[in-house]
Copies of this chain bind each other. A is one copy, B any other.
């Protein structure tokens, strides 16, 4: 009896959700009434509503979020296919394109462009208070070098928080840096020489490619699944002959796809690279932006040999303007420290002291819970908008964390040309070719859902969809049976 009632309620609710989503009254990410509200409204028992919701959840129409209730889930969309980059290492020449991109998007960082949340998402007044306190407590904080490794009080907090993902670090294992990007710099310089080949996901973060270019490194782009991350068989093959000097990956919510490797895959990855003596530089700056119940472990959690150089940052988490990142360099510790010494010598003590206090006080954990909810909602809205406004045949990723989305437009689209048009209207994003050493991904783009959703954001996304439609209408689709061509040509 109860099951029948629940099934009837399920059908009614599923129909209503579909109808309301079609008219736009309801959207992915919206909160549903509580179980008790529905019970009272529909005059059924609580167990019936609970059962109906379970059916909706099973069928992927809604999702439960701990301590928050039930939410409309975004439609499951087919993600872009696994990438198939060239098997040859390439000298990187992304410099010129990146410069053009920076010029086009300068001062428009609150569109879909920069991979950072909007300033109002951060605990500004709390940090101000802590900074004032730190200044009062240590009168010479502004005139003392904080030491090249960073303040011990911060390194201790960092190590303590790392225990949550299984990190067995002491304060001495931690090197503070000027944001995550400096940590990547130090890690690459500690493990490579100019001319070396470095394996990366494809697509991968353009800043990393630009680092390669500036250091004279060659990128070996490895096939990567936009949901599950790098192909281990391909990486195994690529590292077989000893020609790969290092490997830089983002196992948790990669930039740009948002892919997440499984724990098993991470374990295999760590073992493979330790055996081959290829250092793994793990960029985990999005790891804290998980949406499930548990933070995904980084590969570093499985590192027994010190072969993993683990890079993280509080920039995207707590305060972009404070520029505090860190690295746990494993067996490259002394090399990384000396490189920090000559790169920026030390990180400002005042920002470190403020952050240490924020971590210690528990303010951090509270803030991150809020930030994760914001991200989830923004990603859901973005998904919803892509479904609504973009041409049929568009595919995109639905990451389980972070706030980035990797979008494949139908063949014939050109995201670089699209940006030139949209930037004129104040709408920016990162075009696909930036994410490849060979300027592949011409019809791809990365959208960042860093800004709390609003009508303004929605309008921008709709307009971007219109521009894509227009571009495709103007350009007869260049159909290609050989999808390889996509990755070989600029």
Contact = CB atoms under 8 A, between A and B. Distances in A.
A346 B321 CA distance: 8
A319 to B, nearest CB: 4
6 contacts: A102-B341, A119-B143, A143-B320, A143-B321, A145-B321, A348-B351
Contacts of A349: 321
Copies of this chain held together in the complex: 2
Interface of A: 95, 98-99, 102, 109, 114, 116, 119-122, 124-125, 127-128, 131-132, 135-136, 139-146, 148, 178-179, 181-182, 185, 189, 193-195, 207, 210-211, 214-216, 319-323, 334, 337-339, 341-351
Given A142-B128, A323-B348, A348-B322, A342 B216 contact: no
Contact of A124 (B119, B143, B182, B211): B143
Contacts of A181: 342-345
A344 B344 contact: yes
A28 to B, nearest CB: 27
Nearest to A122: B143
Nearest to A120: B140
Contacts of A320: 143-145
Given A124-B143, A145-B109, A216-B193, A343 B342 contact: no
Given A132-B135, A216-B194, A350-B351, A143 B342 contact: no
Given A120-B140, A142-B124, A142-B131, A321 B342 contact: no
A139 B116 contact: no
Contacts of A185: 342-343
Nearest to A123: B143
Contact of A321 (B122, B127, B142): B142
B119 A342 contact: no
B344 A178 contact: yes
A25 to B, nearest CB: 34
A400 B428 CA distance: 53
A325 to B, nearest CB: 9
Contacts of A342: 181, 185, 207, 210-211, 214
Contacts of A114: 145
Given A140-B124, A144-B119, A320-B143, A179 B95 contact: no
Contacts of A146: 321
A207 B344 contact: no
- A-B residue pairs, 8 tightest by C-beta: A122-B143, A194-B194, A119-B140, A178-B344, A119-B143, A142-B319, A321-B349, A128-B135
B143 A139 contact: no
A182 to B, nearest CB: 5
B321 A350 contact: yes
A142 B320 CA distance: 7
A143 B146 CA distance: 21
Nearest to A207: B342
B214 A339 contact: yes
Contacts of A323: 344-348
Contacts of A348: 321-323, 348, 351
Contact of A344 (B135, B144, B148, B179): B179
A373 B231 CA distance: 64
